[in-house]
Amino acid sequence: MHRSFDQRRYLIPFRSTLLPQIFTDTLVIGSGAAGLAAAHAAAEHGDVIVLAKGSRTRSNTGWAQGGIAAVLDSSDSIASHVKDTLAAGGGLCDEPIVELVCQRSADAVSRLLDAGFAADRDEHEQLALAREGGHSARRIVHAQGDATGTELVRCLLRITDGSPAIRIFEQCFALDLLTPSEEPGTPCLGAITHHPRHGLQMIWARSTILASGGAGAVWRETSNPSLATGDGLAMAYRAGATLADLAFMQFHPTTLYVAGAERLLISEAVRGEGATLLDATLERFMPAFHDRAELAPRDVVASAIHRTLARTGAAHVWLDARQVTHFADRFPGIAHRLQQFGLDPQTDLIPVNPAAHYMVGGVRTDADGHTDVPGLYAVGEASCSGLHGANRLASNSLLEALVLGEAAGRACVEMHAEGNGNALRTRATPVRLVSDIPPTERGELDLTDVRSSLRAGMWRNVGIQRSETHLADMMEMCTFWARYTLDKVFEHPAGWETQNMLFLAELTARSALWREESRGCHQREDAREPAAQFQVHDLWQRGSETCTTIPVGAVVINS
């Protein structure tokens, strides 16, 4: 690893005592489902501040189309949900976590419905459960057809607005987590943030919950909003937290492929309702790749599309949804967006391609969100709880956000108690922190060019199919850009995001290069089969050029 990646502890120079000071019991970084679920639980034992990088409604959660996986029907079972999750996870799921989350699924959905979540129902007013790829039963709760994320955010924010203990700071960029020193094991004390009106601020917290989402925007082709730049993972790494399984970025098989337009996610539920995939000759190809055909796990479908495109030389494949009856009623949002491109799913084939969608790896946690930095918890897509293994099962992410977000919100009360052995926790005054960054030459740097090159390189070299040569090329590219980017001090989010994206790109390429096998959503052309020695979680920490590993299942479950 180029020394620039580990050299800087903070992105900017500052003196903590010269900046405005804000205090709270719990700081939640991120306003998606995981962050809001954690905030609601933490508000039961203290004051909470939630940071929203953009508006409070703009997060990966709001873009979720599919739904929430839960066992709610007598024809289904928790054992079946566990089995499906383990099968999709490619041998890397931590089974105790899988069992815990699946067992709590019905209660999580029940609480959501009690809070006013407007789930779709059938003509008998029963929940209209859908089926998605990798699931052996209909167990997906959805809302407004394909707008589950939008409804979930609305419902969770309604709860938030009813809590006097929770404040949301919108347009607030978290630059770095605060620790009293750079030594391993020192606690997290909050974060330094930037607001366009108030400038830099120190937010001191007894407990900090990282719920900042993933890093899909690090790839050129992505279903994620542009704010998904991996900031939380990068700042956790700089603070000394361990990151795990970074090779595993899940590529969604079907996003609308129209030249010059942003990639529109076309939910897996469309295939669950009977849509099929066709190659350039209009032949169906998925049955040759998996016995579940279009309902195979996402890594299988994405890889099959990639191989089909390589074989045919076409720019995209076709999604045939003409046999999906009442498409506009079941998927109104998708139908509306397709209409904007002159496409009618009842009569037209839909051009689709895979795109980076969900970061399976993240900050390593246990069942209560603990990281190895005291006082720091991580939940949702920013975390690596072991639930997803090597490949996320469809609609398990919103379930994880609700279940483990709540668990972390409840667990962080431990950091608020007097006499917990950590004197820094009970101080009424802030700690004096100094970030000294030597001045550098202020050369011109085109951030748009850096980001564009980085994202294109990640799609080309760390995309669906990978190889040692391409991964080494990506690391070399990261080293090149590090020389010109990581020594700079920026005064705006675009610069900080670019630096964070560079951190994540290098770490992801390193993890993928180390993992000399194909497993789940990590596919190596030069190592096509899974290898027993890599059936472990790979862990990465600041200051170490090589990874350590822990066996699958080595996770703590507190009763």
Structure tokens at 301: 């479908």
Distance CA 51, CA 139 (A): 32
Question: Residues near 288 by Cβ (< 8 Å), separated by ≥ 6?
Answer: none
Q: Buried (b) or exposed (e) across 398-424, using 16+ Cβ within 10 A? A: bbbbbbbbbbbbbbbbebbeeeeeeee
Environment class of 344 (CB within 10 Å of its CB; exposed 0-12, middle 13-18, buried 19+): middle
Distance CA 177, CA 193 (A): 9
* Inter-CA distances, 419 with 414, 415, 427, Å: 10, 10, 12
Query: For the packed helices 396-411 and 148-161, what is the interaxial angle rounded to 10 degrees?
Result: 20
What kind and span of H or E run contains 483? helix 468-485
Distance CA 397, CA 67 (A): 9
Q: Which residue has the tokens 């998606």?
A: 32
Sign of the Cα pseudo-torsion (168, 170, 176, 181, in order): negative
Distance CA 488, CA 437 (A): 9
Side-chain-facing half-sphere of 517: CA atoms under 13 Å = 16
Contact 518, 527 (CB under 8 A): yes
Q: Which of 298, 364, 425, 515 is catalytic?
A: 298
* Inter-CA distances, 182 with 128, 179, 189, 372, Å: 51, 7, 13, 14
Active site residue 292: no
Query: How wide is the angle at C-alpha 462 spanned by C-alphas 460 and 465, nearest 5°?
Result: 85
Partners of 202 in the β-ladder: 21, 192
| Cα 211 versus chain centre, distance | 9
Question: Residues near 340 by Cβ (< 8 Å), separated by ≥ 6?
Answer: none
CA dihedral 284, 285, 290, 292 (to 10 degrees): -20
Distance CA 431, CA 287 (A): 61
Environment class of 505 (CB within 10 Å of its CB; exposed 0-12, middle 13-18, buried 19+): buried
Catalytic positions are 298
